[in-house]
Amino acid sequence: MKLFGVLGDPISHSLSPVMHNSAFKALGMECEYHAFRVNPEYLKKALQGAHALGFGGLNLTIPLKEKALGIVKPTEMAKQIGAVNTVDFREGMIGHNTDGIGAKMALSGAGIKITGKNVLLLGAGGAARAIAFQLAKDGASVTIANRTPERAEALAKDVIKVGKVQASGYEDLKAIIRESDILINSTSVGMYPKISETMVTSDMMHKDLTVFDIVYNPQNTLLLKEAKRAGATTIDGVMMLVFQGAESFKIWTGRTPPVDVMEKAVREKLV
Ligand code: ATR
């Protein structure tokens, strides 16, 4: 029996156990995935302990992702993003970040190409960082818009090293969206319990737009409802969760998990 898990605090509401266990079961793998509450102070001990106990791999979530950079050996991508969400124990402790690739896979899974596309990314926090680096690397032209414009500017300054990026405030959103192919919300706006909030309404969107919301609670956010009203293509936050998890799964096991099974398990748990 191989053990896997997610470390964080709080952690009791994590959907990762149900998601990964559904994939292990579907593939008939003798593996189990559990959630562990870990205080940041004990992160190093927890990682070393899991390594010593022969864990197959771990995910890290709030508030441990940034701290892990000083403990594990980060990949170039994790270093650039400034956070680790996946630890692989096969050769020491390697720290990956699968959030950006998860977003990319969620888009490509829906048939959306990234190269050469204009992407408006709302937000400049941790999730935005991962997505901005990945999409710029993949040849998109990314506009980062944030409530606090200085954070968007700081992020754009980092991302410019790998691709096309610019920063913006929230004043010109309508004009930017007119020129955009993809709109991604990486802020917490619209997340339960504040479900009646959105920065973008249907009158600001067009039918050739793809709208991707990383918020998964609720699954059908107000932003996505507005996007549907405008005739745009929509991708919800469950797909982001599932694809970042699927990338972790591949890193640990070398196997491609059934994303449809993982998606179903997560959606059932969310209802
Ligand atoms: P995460 O790591 O999940 O991305 P974060 O680093 O706290 O979380 O970032 C949250 C993002 O949501 C930020 O871009 C934040 O904007 P600010 O940088 O201006 O704080 C954005 N955000 C949160 N609440 C918001 C709100 N009510 N309106 C607009 N943006 C909001």
Å from CA of 27 to ligand 1 middle: 37
Give pLDDT, residue 271: 85
Per-residue DSSP letter, 63: T
Question: Distance between CA atoms of 241 and 16, rounded to whole angstroms?
Answer: 8
Residues in the chain: 271
Give pLDDT, residue 241: 98
Q: Which residue is catalytic, options 45, 65, 117, 269?
A: 65
Give pLDDT, residue 220: 98
Give pLDDT, residue 15: 98
Question: Distance between CA atoms of 159 and 135, rounded to whole angstroms?
Answer: 10
Question: Distance between CA atoms of 111 and 105, rounded to whole angstroms?
Answer: 10
Give pLDDT, residue 197: 97
Q: Is 127 in the pocket of ligand 1 (CB under 6 A)?
A: yes
Say what the pTM is. 0.97
Å from CA of 24 to ligand 1 middle: 34
Per-residue DSSP letter, 195: T
Pairing of strands 94-96, 86-88: antiparallel
Give pLDDT, residue 152: 98
Q: Determine which residue's CA is closest to atom 8 belonging to ligand 1.
A: 125
Question: Distance between CA atoms of 157 and 267, rounded to whole angstroms?
Answer: 37
Q: Determine which residue's CA is closest to atom 9 belonging to ligand 1.
A: 125
Half-sphere exposure of 232 (CA within 13 A, CB side): 29
Query: Are 20 and 27 spatial neighbours (Cβ–Cβ below 8 Å)?
Result: no
Å from CA of 62 to ligand 1 middle: 14
Mapped onto helix, strand or coil, the DSSP state of residue 4 is strand
Q: Is 144 in the pocket of ligand 1 (CB under 6 A)?
A: no
Q: Determine which residue's CA is closest to atom 16 belonging to ligand 1.
A: 147
Cα–Cα distance list, 15 to 6, 87, 101, 260 (Å): 10, 18, 19, 15
Query: Are 209 and 232 spatial neighbours (Cβ–Cβ below 8 Å)?
Result: yes
Angle in degrees, 0-180, between the axes of helices 149-159 and 126-137, rounded to the nearest 10: 40
Q: Is 61 in the pocket of ligand 1 (CB under 6 A)?
A: no
Atom of ligand 1 nearest to the CA of 126: 2
What residues of the chain score a pLDDT lower than 50?
none
Question: Distance between CA atoms of 66 and 48, rounded to whole angstroms?
Answer: 17
Å from CA of 149 to ligand 1 middle: 11
269 is catalytic: no
Exposed/middle/buried for residue 64 (C-beta within 10 Å: 0-12, 13-18, 19+): buried
Exposed/middle/buried for residue 107 (C-beta within 10 Å: 0-12, 13-18, 19+): buried
Q: What is the dihedral of CA 159, 160, 162, 168, to 10 degrees?
A: 50
Q: Is 151 in the pocket of ligand 1 (CB under 6 A)?
A: yes
CA 6 to chain centre: 15
